[in-house]
Amino acid sequence: MNCNVPTDICFSFSGFHQRGGRTADHADGFGIGFFEGAGCRLFIDVRPAVESAIAALVSGYPIRSMNVVAHIRKATRGEVALVNTHPFMRELWGRYWIFAHNGTLEDFKAELCTAYYRPVGTTDSEAAFCQMLQELRARFPQGEPPLGRLHEAVAEITRELASHGTFNYMLCNGDLLFAHCSTSLAYVLRQAPFAVAHLKDQDITVDFSEVTTPDDRVALIATDPLTDNEVWTAMSPGELLVFRHGVPVPI
């Protein structure tokens, strides 16, 4: 989720976490990160999201954030363990970055990463994240570049990593949210005039006109749409979007 004002994700997460063992088989752990200024609250658990007391806490805890990244895991590389649970977090250019990946990268070598960014766990996902940050650090040693150059660099690195397999991912630094579609990703933009939304995975409805202001903007991105009565835009394979303040940024 990417917004222009601090927003809670309780409604969407109520449906999303059902896919962690009830309405889908991604039952090998879950995680969610909330940016708050320069800080980031990161909650992870190896239990299926539908059984996790941490997920229950998040579902009812209205943490307000402008950027949130959540992940439910179906393990394909690395054992089911806390160290292998997404999102992963590292520092670059004085900011925290968090990363969540859906897919599998074949024949990807973690040793490509250098001393700055090394995987702690055994997933291809964390290794890819370390590789991305290492290459960005090497290209821009003086600090974060303008958005156009950053997007170009992330796109180049992404194409190389995606050549190893399926690489749907979210990458966020608390200001920008990058979303890359390899096989399946979609987004919905919520802004005035707000309407009623109904979850696909639970029979829950909310009228956003009652809980927002006319100036609010929210972008929600997911592998599969979370609601069944909103217009979701499917991303194309190979497409890399960057969201800021609740809308895709023209590059």
As given in the structure block, the two tokens for residue 7 are 């927003």
In whole angstroms, how far apart are CA 26 and each of 50, 80, 202?
10, 12, 17
Give the helix/strand (H/E) hosting 29. Answer: none
| Backbone angle region of 183, left / alpha / beta, with phi > 0 → left and psi within -120 to 50 → alpha | alpha
| Average pLDDT over all residues of the chain | 90
Task: Tell me if 7 sits within 8 A of 216, measured CB to CB.
Answer: yes
Interacting residues of 31 by C-beta distance below 8 A, sequence separation 6+:
42, 43, 44, 45, 70, 71, 73, 85, 86, 87, 100
Domains and CATH numbers, the chain: 2-248 (3.60.20.10)
Q: Convert 154-214 into a string of H (helix), E (strand) and C (coil).
A: HHHHHHHHHCCECCEEEEECCCCEEEECCCCCEEEEEECCCCEEEECCCCCEEEHHHCCCC
Task: Tell me if 137 sits within 8 A of 143, measured CB to CB.
Answer: no
Q: What is the model's pLDDT at position 114? A: 64
pLDDT tens string 84-126 = 999 999 999 999 999 999 999 988 765 555 678 999 999 999 9
Q: What is the model's pLDDT at position 65? A: 96
pLDDT at 147 over 60: yes
Mean pLDDT value across residues 175-180? 98
Of 121 and 201, more confident: 121
pLDDT at 213 over 90: no
**Residue the block writes with tokens 């179906």:** 74
Task: Tell me if 1 sits within 8 A of 68, measured CB to CB.
Answer: yes
pLDDT tens string 221-242 = 999 988 999 999 999 999 999 9
Rg of the chain, C-alpha, whole Å: 17
Mean pLDDT value across residues 44-69? 89
The model's pTM? 0.93
Of 202 and 24, more confident: 202
pLDDT tens string 10-50 = 877 886 777 776 677 777 889 999 999 899 999 999 998 88
